[in-house]
A and B are shown apart, each in its own frame.
Chain A
Amino acid sequence: AQKITQTQPGMFVQEKEAVTLDCTYDTSDPSYGLFWYKQPSSGEMIFLIYQGSYDQQNATEGRYSLNFQKARKSANLVISASQLGDSAMYFCAMSPRNAGNNRKLIWGLGTSLAVNP
Chain B
Amino acid sequence: NAGVTQTPKFQVLKTGQSMTLQCAQDMNHEYMSWYRQDPGMGLRLIHYSVGAGITDQGEVPNGYNVSRSTTEDFPLRLLSAAPSQTSVYFCASSESGTGNNEQFFGPGTRLTVL
Residues of A bordering B, CB below 8 Å: 31, 33, 35, 43-45, 47, 50, 52, 91, 93, 95, 97, 100-105, 107-110
Answer whether A44 and B105 are a contact pair too, CB < 8 Å, given A33-B100, A101-B51, A102-B50. yes
> How far does the alpha carbon of A45 sit from the alpha carbon of B105 in the complex, in Å?
6
Collect the chain A residues with CB atoms within 8 Å of residue B58's CB: 104
Q: Is B111 an interface residue (CB 8 A)?
A: no
What is the CB-to-nearest-CB distance from B104 to chain A, in angstroms, rounded to a whole number?
8
Complex: how many Å from CA A100 to CA B105?
Answer: 21
Q: Within 8 Å CB of B90, what residues of A?
A: 45
Residues of A within 8 A of B100 (CB): 33, 50, 52
Please give, as numbers and ranges, the residues of chain A lying within 8 Å of B27 by CB-CB distance: none
Residue pair A101, B96 in contact (C-beta under 8 Å): yes
A78 to chain B, nearest CB (A): 19
Most buried by B among A52, A91, A97, A103: A103
What are 25 A-B contacts with C-beta separation under 8 Å? A31-B98, A35-B102, A43-B107, A44-B105, A45-B105, A47-B102, A50-B102, A52-B99, A91-B42, A93-B43, A100-B96, A101-B50, A101-B51, A101-B96, A102-B50, A103-B31, A103-B101, A104-B48, A104-B58, A105-B43, A105-B92, A105-B103, A107-B43, A107-B44, A110-B42
